[in-house]
A and B are shown apart, each in its own frame.
Chain A
Amino acid sequence: MYWDIFHLMRNEILIIIAILTVMTVDLFLSKNKKHHVIRLAHLLFAVILIWSLLPGKTGYLFGHSYLTNPLINFFKAIMNIGVMLIMLQAVNWIKRDLIPQGFASEFYILIWASLLGLNYMISSGDFLMFYLGLELSALPIAAAVAFEFFRKRSAEAAIKYIMLAAMSSAIMLFGISLIYATSGSIYFHDIVNTKEMPLLELIGFVMMVSGVAFKISLVPFHFWTADVYEGAPTVISNYLSVISKGAAVFILMILLFIPLRRYEQTWTIMLYVLAVLTMFTGNFFALRQQNMKRFLAYSSVAQAGFILLGVIGGNVRALETVIYFILIYIFSNVAAFGAVHVIAMHSGKENMKDYEGLYRTNPLISLVLMLALFSLAGIPFLAGFFGKFFLYATAAEKGYYWLVFIAVINVTISLYYYLLPVRAAFLRKSENPIPHFKSDIYTRIGLVILVLGILFLGLYSPVYEYIAEISKIF
């Protein structure tokens, strides 16, 4: 019996065990032996990753507070893959900047605690678990944003993130309290059965969605994105842009499709407007960026707009296409941030102008950058193309032809700015290009996996078929 409980909650329990193990081992390591933590952390997380890839069961715990099914389990595995790839990129940063100051395990503890919060959030069955998961995912990452405490920008990004995250969660909480007032329960399965739609609950619903929209950085709530991504350490921006955003999209879909289904007419209009605004704002602001991290931040805002194109479908097909897109988006965006991170680590340069002539000195890393940006833009036969194609198909199936048309215009705009760094790296010549460098083995393994994912994830159809098979949860 206890084994069943463990099996339903295995991701969360294993992550807690990993956090406690790293904490305990850290106590017994002297200050000049902290680098052993890195190997231990990768080993522990590899075990968690492999375990989470096993197929999951359907079930609930704590009186429907905690739900799980094969789809949620698969999404947790996707997040674990993303975190593993980010951890591989973080190694050279930890070795260079943190180990000399005697820190290493703190990074892993913070990032895993945030992942734990996201795991609880996406398998929540009531608003209490949802709120706790959301906060548990936001607070450690705010501490991680401030991690480079010798840089002013890191502290500035952290204060912006924690203040705005706290405000958005306060607004969301007010919405939840109004929903509780009208429906009499915080459990999703009680809210599903309510039939009437009082105005008070509508206000609560809008306030609640704005809290989740902050996490996804949809447009009226996107102002923190570029500042935080630029100021934070690159690995943390990477985590915020893929894992945190992907999980928030997932829980938004669950909330809209199951407990708040009776507001479908309201939220389709809402998502329509948000999608158009998000795509245009993200793309136009990305056009004028020179700093690569800000550039990727606005590109991730625009990608969130494309994701809404799938969410608006509101059926099982929407669920499967969006999850497939998030899987591909994790690979493409982690690769793009990874290339920027590696270049910034070895040369300290983050601007697009510095990338001129990069192909001549570092052909492999500029190839990775090119593939990642092409996949984000959706050039055919890379994975990103298939992800975007299915999103458009979902929106077109519901009859939103104008929305698809607007999205196609936006893809054209985005193609222009995704090509700018590629042009700088491949076609431009420079007097003093970034000198040749050799990255360590962890980074190289991570980037090779990412490139393989970008190349073959779209062409290998069983992945999509598997997601489609497990998505039929309602």
Chain B
Amino acid sequence: MIEGISIQLILTFTTLLFFIGLYGFLTRTNLIGMLISLELMLNSEAVNFVAFNQYLYPGKLQGSIFSLFIIALAAAETALALAIILQVFKMTGSTDVKEVKDLKY
């Protein structure tokens, strides 16, 4: 718990962070930019879990443990996504989503 900061403020912050990430994911055309937006979304959830744990259910550890796993999995996901982006870069010569257009309809 932090003195002087209420749970509403933290929840507003994480919700804003989440939707900024979602907006970025949907509007970015660069694959790396999309990946960064994805990280924003996942980080907002990690903050969410820790804040709920500390403010609402102090003394239990479920939320904090959950956020640890989120951080680990976000790293794994990013590593794999970067590897695949590298593959796309080898094939098309760019990391722009507009180049990834063979499969449609």
Contact = CB atoms under 8 A, between A and B. Distances in A.
A227 B70 CA distance: 28
A156 B102 contact: yes
Contact of B56 (A127, A159, A160, A184): A184
A163 B81 contact: yes
Interface in B91-105: 91-92, 100, 102-104
Interface in A98-141: 127-128, 131-132, 135, 139
Given A142-B80, A181-B52, A128 B66 contact: yes
A171 B42 CA distance: 9
B69 A128 contact: yes
B10 to A, nearest CB: 11
Interface stretch (A146-154, A394-402, A459-467): A146-154
B44 A174 contact: yes
A160 B62 contact: no
Interface residues of chain A: helix, strand, loop or mixed (majority): helix
B69 A131 contact: yes
A352 B87 CA distance: 30
Given A173-B42, A174-B45, A184-B57, A128 B87 contact: no
A338 B73 CA distance: 33
Q: How large is the interface on B (under 10, 10 to 19, 20 to 34, 35 or more residues)?
A: 35 or more
A450 B105 CA distance: 31
Contacts of A40: none
B65 interface: yes
Nearest to A167: B25
Contacts of A143: 80, 83-84
A174 B70 CA distance: 11
A170 interface: yes
Given A174-B45, A177-B49, A180-B62, A142 B84 contact: yes
A231 interface: yes
A132 B56 contact: no
B84 A159 contact: yes
Interface string A226-258: 110011000000000000000000000000000
Given A128-B69, A139-B76, A156 B88 contact: yes
A157 interface: yes
A159 B62 CA distance: 33
B102 A153 contact: yes
Interface string B52-95: 10001100101101100110010011001101110110111000
Contacts of A208: none
B38 to A, nearest CB: 5
A160 B81 CA distance: 10
A166 B62 contact: no
Max count, chain A CB within 10 A of own CB: residue among B38, B56, B84: B84
Contacts of A160: 100, 103
26 contacts: A128-B66, A131-B69, A132-B69, A132-B73, A139-B77, A142-B80, A142-B84, A149-B87, A153-B102, A156-B103, A159-B31, A159-B81, A160-B103, A162-B80, A162-B81, A163-B31, A170-B21, A173-B42, A173-B45, A174-B45, A180-B49, A180-B63, A180-B66, A181-B48, A184-B56, A186-B66
Interface of B: 18, 21-22, 25, 31, 34-35, 38, 41-42, 44-45, 48-49, 52, 56-57, 60, 62-63, 65-66, 69-70, 73, 76-77, 80-81, 83-85, 87-88, 90-92, 100, 102-104
Given A158-B84, A186-B66, 11 more contacts: A135-B73, A135-B77, A139-B76, A156-B103, A162-B77, A163-B34, A170-B45, A177-B48, A177-B49, A184-B60, A231-B102
Interface of A: 127-128, 131-132, 135, 139, 142-143, 146, 149, 152-153, 155-160, 162-163, 166-167, 170-171, 173-174, 177-178, 180-181, 184-186, 226-227, 230-231
In order of increasing CB-CB distance, the 5 nearest A-B pairs are A170-B41, A177-B48, A227-B103, A155-B87, A152-B91
